[in-house]
Amino acid sequence: MRQDHLITATQLSRADIEAVLDRARTIDESRSAFTQRYSGSVLALCFFEPSTRTKMSFETAAKRLGADTIDMGSIESSSVKKGESLADTARVIEGYADAIVLRHPSEGSAKMASEFVDVPVINAGDGAGQHPSQTLLDLYTIRERHGLDDLTIGIMGDLKYGRTVHSLSAALTNFDVRQHFISPESLRLPRSVRFDLHEAGAQVREHTDLEAVLSELDVLYVTRIQRERFPDENEYRTVAGEYRIDEETLSTARDDLTIMHPLPRVDEIAPTIDETDHARYFEQAHNGVPVRMALLDILLGGED
Ligand code: CP
């Protein structure tokens, strides 16, 4: 890493990404070699929003490295409830832990927290902003199956509020990847993300119809409509359920199409797809452990 914190995927170069993915591969092949490497270290899991995968896979990763974890319990039982600021919370926790994993509903929260502490901060999702460690496990999953160059990927669903999309699309600009974005008009990528992709020279096209591009795709990355981010529930209802992948939808897909999803899913992918060779979303979630072990190994080890 060029920096001590992992805040956004835009800070990652191709070399940074490959370093993490290569380390994750090594860990995946010989986990026992890494056991106890960080015995005595403590990872703080600070989650101000719900999480299953990110929190539990960071916890598993830390424990497999021999480190302990601490967390804040529910927000209701922490001093956040008494009005403590995020900056003060972070400053206190840096005295308890060697690194902080932070999920928070406000965009920019991880960057702000990182400015108050000396231990590494890992952004585990800041509102509709970024989720860079998810991106690393997404890239690991893609690389294992297709490599990361000369690739066509479709990213579909809630591109406006989906932080995994914002991070993944930025990281993909390091590789020879054609990116197709499929969404309702109202959930297009934010202007700022489109601008950054353009500045990075990304090969980007936007669609409202999956059919227009499905047969070209190596990877289809499906996302949930982020109901909790809509300011107006009626607005959510107009787009809910608009895109759903089932066997009929996939009739023109390539045999080796990989379907991914950061999860949780609601109804975007029919359960009948789970048993097909296309479905990689559970494998993707499981890859969170070796990839987050690799990330912690690099950040806690103080490597460049
Ligand atoms: N993919 C992801 O961030 O899942 P969680 O919300 O369960 O952590």
Of all residues in the chain, the percent with pLDDT exceeding 90 is 85
Cβ-proximal residues to 27 (8 Å cutoff; 6+ apart), any chain? 34, 290, 293, 294, 297
Contact 79, 85 (CB under 8 A): no
Sequence-distant (6+) residues with CB within 8 A of 257 are 214, 217, 218, 219, 220, 250, 278
Cα of 166 vs centre of ligand 1, distance in Å, is 15
pLDDT band of 304, cuts 50, 70, 90: low
Residue 39 identity (one-letter amino acid): S
Residue 68 neighbours by CB under 8 Å, 6+ apart: 41, 42, 43, 62
- Using a 10 angstrom Cβ sphere, with 0-12 exposed, 13-18 middle and 19 or more buried, the burial of residue 12 is buried
pTM for the predicted model, two decimal places = 0.95
Q: How far is Cα 69 from Cα 222, in angstroms, rounded to an integer?
A: 31
**Which of 138, 263, 281, 286 has most ligand 1 atoms within 8 Å of CB, for mutation?**
263
Cα(92)–Cα(59) distance, rounded to whole angstroms? 20
**1 pLDDT higher than 50:** no
- pLDDT per position as a tens digit, 46-88: 999 999 999 999 999 999 999 999 999 888 877 888 889 999 9
Which of 51-55, 130-134, 259-263, 300-304 is least confident?
300-304
Share of the chain above pLDDT 70, in %: 98
The three-state secondary structure class of 170 is helix
**Higher pLDDT, residue 173 or 243:** 173
The pLDDT of residue 258 is 98
Q: What integer pLDDT is reported at residue 2 of this predicted model?
A: 38
Annotated catalytic residues are 53-54, 82, 103, 131
125 alpha carbon to ligand 1 midpoint, in Å? 9
**pLDDT beyond 80 at 107:** yes
Check residue 18 and give its pLDDT: 98
Separation CA 158–CA 225 (nearest Å) = 5
Please report which confidence band the pLDDT of residue 292 belongs to, taking 50, 70 and 90 as the band edges: very high
Pick from 15-29, 31-45, 161-175, 227-241: least confident:
227-241
| Backbone dihedral angles phi then psi of residue 111, each to the nearest 5 degrees | -65, -45
User: Is residue 52 in contact with ligand 1, taking CB distance under 6 Å?
Assistant: yes
CB of 162 closer than 6 angstroms to any ligand 1 atom:
no
Cβ(262) to ligand 1 under 6 A? yes
The alpha carbon of 53 and the centre of ligand 1 are apart by a number of angstroms equal to 5
- SS3 call for 177: strand
- Tokens encoding 201: 């020279």
Three-state SS sequence of 222-277? ECCCCHHHCCCHHHHHHHCCCCCECCCHHHHCCCCCEEECCCCCCCCECHHHHHCC
Compute CA distances 262 → 44, 74, 157, 162, whole Å.
23, 23, 12, 10
Q: In angstroms, rounded to a whole number, what is the distance separating the alpha carbons of residues 52 and 124?
A: 12
Which residue's CA lies nearest to atom 4 of ligand 1? 53
- Token pair for residue 71? 């967390």
Contacts of 265 (CB under 8 A, 6+ apart): 222, 224, 281
Among 295, 132, 156, CA closest to 219 = 156
User: Residue 176 contacts by C-beta under 8 Å, 6 or more apart in sequence?
Assistant: 149, 150, 151
Task: Say yes or no: CB of residue 134 within 6 Å of ligand 1.
Answer: yes
Does the CB atom of residue 265 touch ligand 1 within 6 A?
Answer: no
3-state secondary structure of 161: coil
CA of 262 to the centre of ligand 1 (A): 7
Output the average pLDDT for the chain: 95
The residue nearest atom 6 of ligand 1, judged by CA position, is: 51
> What confidence category does residue 239 fall into, taking pLDDT thresholds of 50, 70 and 90?
confident
Residue with tokens 């993915």: 21
Which residue intervals of 65-161 are DSSP H helices?
86-93, 109-114, 132-146
Ligand 1 centroid–CA 178 distance in Å is: 26
Answer whether 288 contacts ligand 1 (Cβ < 6 A).
Answer: no
Q: Is 135 in the pocket of ligand 1 (CB under 6 A)?
A: no
CA 147 – ligand 1 centroid, Å: 24
What is the best residue among 47, 49, 54 to mutate for testing ligand 1's pocket, by most ligand atoms within 8 Å of CB? Answer: 54
Q: What is the pLDDT of residues 143-188, one digit of tens each?
A: 999 999 999 999 999 999 999 999 999 999 999 999 999 999 999 9
